[in-house]
Structure 1
């Protein structure tokens, strides 16, 4: 395996993460679980929101991986321009579409508040703007806030290529645990509790775990020969991830139980994802290859799938999915929503996102 070869395991985890998120949101809108007869896998649509945690881990990995390989910081302008070309055009397009196609009453009353908070990615900081305009945008706010925090970590970590990210993960984990404990102590209820538990400090152990994984993979790929046995480690990590998903059963009956358990499993999830990533990166078997297409279109699929599903709900007259007795209607809705979302995401990825990214790369190359 060449040392510059694409890390297939990242495609696998990214494809898994987006599949989980879409499964969850379509289950919410149809109340049909396509995996309900598949044993332990039946929990995946109900817990698919954990795909966002996987995305945050992957973000930490992918941000730090090129720096770990190069051994140097590329400069703030290069870093910010690369992030901007990747994130902003597709985000702005979906933001406009959501405002036009699904305008919310609260947004119409205070349009500038909601628009400016989303353009500045500060919307996850207040309850009024947290889920406004388009619900899935909350995670983009958290992501971009970490982008601004990342350069400081990267410069410090590069001084000690392996020890720095590992110690950094330790301290970021302490910060995340302390913050989550503080949220529990505030006594906040309902969506306010969810909002606070889903803000940037609460995810620092996942972001930090991704960065530590990148540093570890970088060192191991230089010192350890690829071997199929590493695939077993990858599978072990995935088994733990599945077990963590299943561990939620019953906690949704407790007071704040599901959110409390979600916060509790973030650190074990980061460890399991590290094991999965290291095993997959050192395996020569191309772990994750079947999910490469989903991984490629994942950003646009994440942005657009709930917008497509909501419009489809209206077109099919599904206002209260839990009251729908026609199983055929539930199945048709889910299949059509998947099909349209995938087609639209592929169109936008190949026709909009990738051309802009290539243009950005040419622009940076000429400077």
Structure 2
């Protein structure tokens, strides 16, 4: 079993995913009424989140199987929770604390409920009605991105039960059931149920389960490794298709999107990291993708509010994205990576202490 083998191709897919997510927010912040509005608003660039979800499902399944192979189920689950908590929670709470300054700033539009939901990792429940068009919601340019972080954390809580209690064929069957139910569920893109699309996570779990079987090498022979340009092309096609399809078809479209992202991720596992500069750039973006996801939208909104009328939208957008990337590098280097390593050390120490 080679569960610990790092899949270098996924690092660059994370970079592509966060690039799409950032692009999905450039439109609402800067594009309204401008010449770039049709390009920035029309496609559903937030399909990058679905790509993240598939990667997460795959990585979590492999991580849990690897931990289970090394130690007992309880110790494996404990180690998994410690590692994920140290990777996700402190950075989210740090950014949430900074954003909470808006609670005392007149006109910020940030509501106490926004912050509470973010800190409790239930933002998907909190923002669902807002994305569905409900009135009286807080400032979406601050805490709204925490909805997907909440979905990830909730998945982490259930993941050990799913992976340890269900055999691999059952995980694949569960993914199929989720896709079928999702396809027949009315869930227009950006609507209330938009924050509860678990299709992509289920597909990622299924891919991880299949990769752990003896049939994977034979299946892999029929797949061709995917490059970053081809992955970007297919994700762009998905973004434009979701934008033009009628809302009544978005259940099927979201399920198909999850399958397409799974197809891309499965092919990305077959290749090593790129040696070209675009690939290296995506790799770097992938390494800071979590911090960048948390902070990019409030940074974009703050720059647009303070500098947009002086510099114009293109210059302000470029400057704000560069700032967000720089801040993400700092947050990842100072907090994200050290805490991730600390979590691994703590989990390993806990296992050694309980071992006979």
Specify the TM-score bucket, using the shorter chain as the normaliser: 0.7 to 0.9
In 2, Cα distance between equivalents of 1:296 and 1:273: 19
Q: 167-176 vs 350-359, which deviates more? A: 167-176
2:114–2:123 contact (8 Å) kept in structure 1 = yes
Query: Hey, what does 1:51 align to over in structure 2?
Result: 48
Query: Where do 5+ consecutive residues of structure 1 fail to align?
Result: 37-41, 319-325
Q: What does residue range 1-367 of structure 1 map to in structure 2 within 5 Å? A: 5-31=5-31, 46-69=43-66, 72=69, 73=73, 74-101=75-102, 107-108=110-111, 111=112, 113-126=113-126, 127=128, 132=138, 133-157=142-166, 160=167, 164=168, 166-179=169-182, 181-184=184-187, 194-199=191-196, 202-203=197-198, 205-219=199-213, 233-235=224-226, 239=230, 242-243=233-234, 245-247=236-238, 249=240, 252=243, 255-256=246-247, 259-260=250-251, 262-280=253-271, 289-318=280-309, 329-367=312-350
Distance change in 2, residues 1:114/1:314 (3 Å): closer
1:117–1:123 contact (8 Å) kept in structure 2 = yes
User: Could you tell me how far 1:257 is from its partner in structure 2?
Assistant: 6.2
In 2, Cα distance between equivalents of 1:174 and 1:207: 13
In 2, Cα distance between equivalents of 1:10 and 1:190: 26
How many residues are treated as equivalent by the alignment?
326
User: Could you tell me how far 1:156 is from its partner in structure 2?
Assistant: 2.5
2:14–2:286 contact (8 Å) kept in structure 1 = yes
SS across alignment from 1:234: coil
SS across alignment from 2:270: helix
Distance change in 2, residues 1:346/1:265 (3 Å): same
In 1, Cα distance between equivalents of 2:237 and 2:96: 34
Q: 209-218 vs 127-136, which deviates more? A: 127-136
Normalised TM-score (structure 1): 0.74
1:59–1:210 contact (8 Å) kept in structure 2 = yes
Q: 59-68 vs 122-131, which deviates more? A: 122-131
Deviation digits for residues 239-290 of structure 1 (CA, Å, limit 9, x no counterpart): 477346325547645653685565243343244234423433xx68779555
2:64–2:80 contact (8 Å) kept in structure 1 = no
2:57–2:203 contact (8 Å) kept in structure 1 = yes
Over the aligned positions, Cα root-mean-square deviation in angstroms equals: 3.8
SS across alignment from 1:168: helix
In 1, Cα distance between equivalents of 2:183 and 2:262: 18
Query: Hey, what does 2:353 align to over in structure 1?
Result: none
2:115–2:143 contact (8 Å) kept in structure 1 = no
1:248–1:261 contact (8 Å) kept in structure 2 = no
